Amino acid sequence: MLTHQVLVLLLIGYIIYTIDLKKKLFPVPVVLILIGLALSLVPYFSLLHISKNMIFEVFLPALLFTAAYQFPLKQLKENWGIIAALSTLGLIVTVVLLGVSIYWVSGFFISLSFSGALLLAAILSPTDPVSVTSIIKKSTGSEQLAGIVEGESMVNDGTSIVIFTVFLSMFKAGNGFSFGKFFGEFMLVSIGGIVIGLFLGWMLSKIIHFTHQKQYQVMLSIIVAYGGFYIAEAIGVSGVLATVVTGIMLSFEIEKTKDDNNIKDSLDGFWDIITPTLLSVLFLLIGIQAAEYLAFPHWGFAAVIFGLSLLARFVMIGGFIYTVPAWRNEFQNDFSTISLITWSGIKGSMSVALLLWLEEAVSSKDELLVSLSFAVIIISLVVQSTSIYPLTKLLGNKDKKSGFN
């Protein structure tokens, strides 16, 4: 029965992606989630369930590895500073700004503790550009802007997990915020994940030339993508960062051996099939799962939180660009740059993984946090995905010389 249901989901995903290939600007994740919400009303799909472990152990390693090894090295080399800043310190600043704002505003809607507000902010701060990077490239012609959005999302997943785990322990224990505990755990988990990723990436870059059989090269990439994630998580460090760094190391190796195109072609031939397959099932399951939590009376508060999340991100990005002279000079049209990077920060798979983690960890009396998280994620996916193209055109028409490189 379960196999039949998954095959139906794959068929739906195939149809939607086929339409997307023709229209180019079709917001696939939004459509899949809306279809998932509709499928939740069909008894045939009532037993389908997605868990935190399923996202972390099945979906994330493959999606992160593919994004990392396919990430344009030119953009990484040219924009590594702003990508690193936005995805680490920038994410922390965003969580603090959003958490304080949610706590202050919550008094007008519900009773929410400060640790609960910070936990909600930690869930909603990681970004997932899903299909918007291709839209940005097409509508603005800016490889740089798309690279910054994609690179930030790729790295901040690891940061968000560390922040979330610290705030979750505070929320469950009822303790206050400890900067020393947060900083120590953040450094340990992050550096540990990076070290494992560097080691596995170096091994992969050497071993992958051992055979020229493309099927064995693909097998090796699967082992490293999932194995690195599991090893890192097993020893208590960031599996996300381990997988991302491994993929980036492989990308450097492919760049060095351009004459050996079989490696890139064979990997792309496999992972370019796996990625839409996983995304189809993931977003459909998110829609099916979200349905049970969206029938709650606080959509007004969810809309306010969504607005606050955009404002906090806008302030953070503006603060970084305006305070660093090199970035201020690079992006001549500061407002357009800040606005587009802000609006491209869609909440997606990592936010869902964290809220499902929250669902497993808290009691029924705290399910309102889960419902609020789901509602804000749905609003973000629908509103931001469908409006990113008109926004790029609007800003582009206001200033043809936007300063994008």
Read off the pLDDT of each residue in 20-32 and give the average, rounded to a whole number. Answer: 69
- Identify whether 9 is part of a domain: no
Predicted confidence band of residue 365 (pLDDT cuts 50, 70, 90): low
Q: State what percent of residues in the chain have pLDDT above 90.
A: 19
Instruction: Work out how many domains the chain is built from and give that number.
Output: 1
- Identify whether 242 is part of a domain: yes
Q: Please give the Cα distance from 310 to 314 (Å, whole number).
A: 6
Whether the pLDDT of residue 377 is over 80: the answer is yes
Whether the pLDDT of residue 60 is over 70: the answer is yes
Read off the pLDDT of each residue in 34-44 and give the average, rounded to a whole number. Answer: 89
Q: What is the pLDDT of residues 254-263, one digit of tens each?
A: 777 765 557 7
Nearest alpha carbon to residue 27 among 351, 279, 330, 319: 279
Q: How many CA atoms lie within 13 A of 163 on its CB side?
A: 30
- Identify whether 107 is part of a domain: yes
Any idea what the CATH number is for the domain that residue 262 is in? 1.20.1530.20
Q: What is the pLDDT of residues 93-145, one digit of tens each?
A: 999 999 999 999 988 888 888 888 888 999 998 888 665 666 666 666 667 77
Query: In this structure, are residues 223 and 271 in contact, taking their beta carbons and an 8 Å threshold?
Result: no
- Identify whether 20 is part of a domain: no
Backbone torsion region of residue 141, taken as left when φ is above 0, otherwise alpha when ψ lies between -120 and 50, otherwise beta = left
Greatest mean pLDDT range, 53-67, 181-195, 299-313 = 299-313
Which pair of structure tokens corresponds to residue 167? 């705030």
What are the CB-based long-range contacts (under 8 Å, 24+) for 175-179? Answer: 175/115, 176/115, 177/115, 177/118
Whether the pLDDT of residue 244 is over 70: the answer is yes
Question: What is the model's pLDDT at position 94?
Answer: 93
Helix (H), strand (E) at residue 266: helix 261-290
Question: DSSP label at 127?
Answer: -
Q: What is the pLDDT of residues 287-323, one digit of tens each?
A: 888 888 888 888 999 999 999 999 999 999 988 888 8
- Identify whether 43 is part of a domain: no
Q: What is the pLDDT of residues 327-361, one digit of tens each?
A: 777 776 677 888 888 888 888 888 888 888 888 87
Any idea which of 52-66, 83-97, 139-153 has the lowest mean pLDDT?
139-153
Neighbours of 110 (CB within 10 A): 13
Instruction: Provide the domain limits for residue 294.
Output: 51-398
Query: In this structure, are residues 127 and 152 in contact, taking their beta carbons and an 8 Å threshold?
Result: yes
Predicted confidence band of residue 203 (pLDDT cuts 50, 70, 90): confident
Predicted confidence band of residue 35 (pLDDT cuts 50, 70, 90): very high
Q: Please give the Cα distance from 229 to 330 (Å, whole number).
A: 36
CA 247, 248, 249, 252 torsion: positive or negative?
positive
- Identify whether 39 is part of a domain: no
Distances (CA, A) of 156 to 92, 94, 253, 287, 370: 10, 12, 24, 24, 21
- Identify whether 356 is part of a domain: yes
Question: What is the model's pLDDT at position 17?
Answer: 83
- Identify whether 23 is part of a domain: no
Mean pLDDT of the chain: 82
Question: What is the model's pLDDT at position 401?
Answer: 46
Whether the pLDDT of residue 370 is over 90: the answer is no
Question: What is the model's pLDDT at position 403?
Answer: 44
